[in-house]
Amino acid sequence: MSDSNKEKFIYELINSFCDKVKEEVFFIIKKIPINLMEPHVHSVLSALLARQGTLATELCRAVSAWNYHSAPLFIRSMVDVHITIAWLMEEPFDRCLKFVEYGLGQEKLQIEHFKAKLIKEGKDPEENEQIQALENNINAQKYTFLLPVELGSWSGKSTRDMAIECGLQDVYNFSFLSFSRCVHSTWNHISRFNSRPSDSALHRYTFVAEMPEFTPDIHQLDTVARRVDETINLFQRYLSLPEDSQIIDKWLDAKLEELGKKYRSEESR
Amino acid sequence: MSKKKSKVLSDHKKVGKKLLPPLMHQVSGVTPSHYDRDTLPELLWLALIENMHGLRVAAAIAEEIGTFVKESESNCRFITITEMKNVDKIEWSALRTHLSGKEMLDLLISAIHDLVVLYPECPLRNLMKQVPVKLRNDNFLASLEVLVADLTYKRGRRAVLMQANALYLLGSQGKLFIKKGLSLGNFEALKDYPDTEESRKVGASMCASSAMVVTLPGNDDLNVWRWPKYFWKRNLEQLPITFDVNKRSSK
């Protein structure tokens, strides 16, 4: 395939993929019942699903990030979102409320740190417009003087415990943990992707730093598709919709074949 | 019959938030030794002799040095390069005379000559009346790299023979007593290493015992000159590490 057709292939693939993800995500979001007596359930679950879609489309558009340096940063977040959604769905009313309160409490804590910094600099926090805007944002949802600040994890549990509780231990062990090494830049990641053993025994084959640039790997997109599918499948069960655990993955396979044929046949003309 | 679900790392012991492997929690007071960092450079001179002259000559030289140490009641065992640092001129002279009398001095010097040229702080320079400055083999560094690569594999033939020679040297001084029948005493079998079972048993004993030969008091003292530290540092001076700044990969 010529370079020009490869570019067109990728451009069309990215746009179609993003459209497909949005289509499937909003299909589900529109099915989530809205109860204005407990709006936090709908708000949190739909926003998290939208977040999943955003993570997928953002990575899809960043072709240069389709590699083991960068894709896991997104994908691990997607696994985190997936586990969070699964856990919330077990007891949506209480847990979604906890989720909202935690987020607002963290904002409140951040504002207090900001205020303390201003005071240290001899400035008056009451006169800072940014602080006022941030506080107004919180107060619009819950008064700050009635908002507790949780210092531990938002759920009171580790991600691992949340995953086990929802029957997602394999997801945690094989997806969350394996992508975490990229997120945290632990030795088992950087020794493989930012290091290589020296060629010489006289250097004790010591690890030597490097910054290799990788060509885009379409398998990363496949991984993203499967992550979105997993989450959509959660909602299908939650909402008692017909289940299809491979909507986007199957679509992607078909799309790749379609575009491959299209651009190859163009070249053969 | 129901199968018990196997627990991951079930043989590990949980201590706090750590899972300790069996060797760490069943055997206490174990201090790891560093074969490639310490043992290899300390005994490298023995490997150079074997590399150049073969096993028989290397063993003969080791035996003769051992005999010298025993007869002269020397404080130095002449096994690790580090311990040779503190040997005085009189003793070096006596060793030279002893080896010369057995027609072994030139053999030994030929093996370590270029090592001394490239690593001028090496105490083995005292085997020569005048410290050499010119290499006999211009490709010595490259061949040394190949030898060290070979020796890095602790159970490889070269490495096992090197470790065995160190123990043989110790035995020749009357400082190593081996119970009859133990594999450690059957040095002769090593000529077939690793092709026979007996040689592999003997080789395993050598590997297990070599650390005790190299571990000396003050090894961890950063202020004391140690050959391994000098050796690795000097390697970086002679062969700087290069960085591939523009590496591209299809990973």
DSSP string, chain A: --HHHHHHHHHHHHHHHHHHHHHHHHHHHTTS---TTSHHHHHHHHHHHHHHHHHHHHHHH-GGG-STTTHHHHHHHHHHHHHHHHHHHHSHHHHHHHHHHHHHHHHHHHHHHHHHHHHHTT--GGG-HHHHHHHHHHHTTS-GGG-----S-TTSS-HHHHHHHTT-HHIIIIIIHHHHHHHTT-HHHHHHHSEEE-S-GGGTT-EEE--PEEPP-THHHHHHHHHHHHHHHHHHHHTTPPP-TTHHHHHHHHHHHHHHHHHHHHHH-
The pLDDT score that the predictor gives to residue B95 is 96
Q: What is the pLDDT of residues B86-125, one digit of tens each?
A: 999 999 999 999 999 999 999 999 999 999 999 999 999 9
Question: What pLDDT score does B217 carry?
Answer: 67
Q: Where does the pLDDT of residue A249 fall: very low under 50, low under 70, confident under 90, or very high at 90 and above?
A: very high
Contact B145 A214 (CB under 8 A): no
Query: Can you give the pTM of this predicted structure?
Result: 0.84
State the Cα–Cα distance between residues A96 and A155, nearest whole angstrom: 10
pLDDT over threshold 60, residue B151: yes
> B212 versus B131: which is more confidently predicted?
B131
- Mean pLDDT is lowest, of A229-238, B194-203, B220-229, for B220-229
Nearest chain A residue to B34 by CA distance is A204
Nearest to B202 by CA among B179, B220, B183, B174: B183
For residue B150, pLDDT beyond 50: yes
Query: What percentage of residues in chain B have a pLDDT greater than 90?
Result: 64
* A213 closest CB neighbour out of B141, B148, B248: B248
Give tens-digit pLDDT for A254-265: 999 999 999 888
Bridge partners for A213 per DSSP:
B248
Q: What pLDDT, on a 0 to 100 scale, did the predictor assign at position A266?
A: 78
CA distance B94 to chain A (A): 33
Give the pLDDT mean for A83-89.
98
- Residue ranges making up the domain that contains A181: 3-268
Distance from CA of B149 to the nearest CA of A (A): 5
CA distances from A167 to A170, A224, A226, B33 (A): 8, 21, 18, 44
Our count of domains for chain A comes to 1
Residue B57, helix vs strand vs coil: helix
Contact assignment for B239 to A206 by CB distance below 8 Å: no
Q: Which residues in chain B have Cβ-Cβ distances shorter than 8 Å to A205? A: 152
Any idea where the domains of chain B sit in the sequence? Answer: 35-215
Which of A164, A169, A193, A204 is the best mutation test for B, with the most CBs of B within 10 A?
Answer: A204
CA distance to partner chain A, nearest, from residue B201 (Å): 27
A200 to chain B: closest CA residue? B145
pLDDT of residue B20: 83
Closest by CA to A96, choosing from A27, A145, A34, is A34
Q: Which chain B residues are within 8 Å of A67, Cβ to Cβ?
A: 251
In sequence order, which residues have a C-beta less than 8 Å from that of residue B148 and are 6 or more positions away? A201, A202, B40, B44
